[in-house]
Amino acid sequence: MAAEAEQGFRPLDEASLLAYIKATPALSSRLGGGGSLDSIEIKEVGDGNLNFVYHFDRAMSLMGMRYIEPPHIILRKGLIAGVEYPLLADHMSDYMAKTLFFTSLLYNNTTDHKNGVAKYSANVEMCRLTEQVVFSDPYRVSKFNRWTSPYLDKDAEAVRQDDELKLEVAGLKSMFIERAQALIHGDLHTGSIMVTTGSTQVIDPEFGFYGPMGFDIGAFLGNLILAYYAQNGHADQANDRKAYKKWILKTIEESWNLFQKKFVELWNKHKEGNGEAYLPDIYNNSKLVSVAQKKYMTNLFHDSLGFGSAKMIRRIVGIAHVEDLESIKDASKRAECERAALSCAKEILKGRRQFETIEQVIEHIQSFDQD
C-alpha cells in the first residue's frame, strides 16, 4: 500500500483519498496516524484559495495543505462587511518585514541570494500573467479589459491616452521583471489573507518569485485603499461607514510605519552578519548607516506607492476587479467610487516621489473622497 502514493495519476473520491493519506507518511503523520485516520471527515471544497503546502505529489496533481480553521475569513470579505481587525497592521507589517528582509542581500550573501533567485526563476508563467494584467493591458485596447460602462468609458480611455502614466508604468514593469530584490509573495492583496480579530494568515503564494519588495507592500496597501473608496457604496442609513473609513486609513498608516520600523530594526540587528549589500567595514559609522537606511527606505516607500497604484488601476479598468467594488449593486454609485480610486491612483503613481511620509499619502487619499 505504501507504493500507492508513487503510482501515476488517478481520480480520487472520499474513500480513495483516505487510502492515499494512509499511504503517505507526510500526511498521515500530521493527522495522527494509525486507526485515528478512520475518523477523518473528508469534504470536497473549491474556492480557489491555496495556503501552506505540507505535501506535493506531482504525478497525482495532489497537494496537502494546512487547514485554516473557522472563524477565519478572507480579509476582503471582512472589509466589505465593515469588520475592524485591531492586529492587522501589526501582523502584516511583521510578515512583510521578516519575509522581505530575510530573503534580501541585507541578510544573505550573494551566493545564497542567487541560489534563491534560481530556485524561483521557473515561475515564469505566473510572472508573465502579472506583467500582462498589471502593467500592459490597462494601458492599451485589450479584449480582456472591462470597466463599469458607460460611466467609466472616458476614464478608461484617459488611462490609455496618458503618456506620462505609461512612462511611469514602464519603469515599474522593468523593475518587476529585472529586480530580484527579495522573495515576494507576488499577489499580496486582501483576498490572499485570512483573518480573525486575533489572527492573520497569508495564503495563495503561487505567484512567489524574487522581485521588488515594493510589489508586495504596494499590493497590500493599494487594496486597503480600494476598500476605503468602496465604503461609500456600502454605507446605508444604519451605518454611514465613516468610522470604518477612519479605521482603514489608520491601518494603512500603521502598516507602513510599523513595517518601516521593524525592517530597520532587523537591519540594525543583523548589520554585522553575512549580508553583502552594505558591508560593515565600508559602512563603518552610525551616521553613514543611517543615511544609507533612509535612502533605502525612501526608495522602497516610493516603489510601494507606484506598485500599489498600478494594482489599483488594473482592478478598475483591467480584467480582474475586486469584490469590494463589484458588490456595490448601484452601477452609478459603484462608478463614482471607482472613479475616485482611479483618480487617486493615477496621481500617486505619477507623483509618488513627492511623498515623504505615509501621512501625506493619507491626506491625498482623503482629497479624492466624494463623501
Domain assignment present for 4: no
Give the CATH number, domain containing residue 284.
3.90.1200.10
Domain assignment present for 260: yes
Domain assignment present for 194: yes
Domain assignment present for 56: no
Q: What is the pLDDT of residues 282-295, one digit of tens each?
A: 999 999 999 999 99
Block residue for cell numbers 500500500: 1
Helices (H), the chain: 14-22, 25-28, 75-81, 88-101, 110-120, 124-135, 153-160, 163-178, 213-234, 242-269, 286-317, 323-326, 331-351, 358-367
**Range of 156's domain?**
73-368
pLDDT band at 5 (very low <50, low <70, confident <90, very high): very low
Beta-carbon contacts of residue 171 (< 8 Å; ≥ 6 apart): 306
Residue 53 pLDDT: 65
Q: DSSP secondary structure string, 10-79? A: ----HHHHHHHHHT-HHHHGGGT-GGGGGG-------SS----EEEEETTTTEEEE----TT-EEHHHHH
Q: What is the pLDDT of residues 12-62, one digit of tens each?
A: 888 889 999 999 999 999 898 877 898 888 876 544 444 456 888 889 888
Nearest-10 Cα torsion for 310, 311, 313, 319: 130
Domain assignment present for 145: yes
Q: What is the pLDDT of residues 242-282, one digit of tens each?
A: 999 999 999 999 999 999 999 999 999 999 999 999 999 99
Q: How many domains in the chain? A: 1
pTM of the model: 0.87
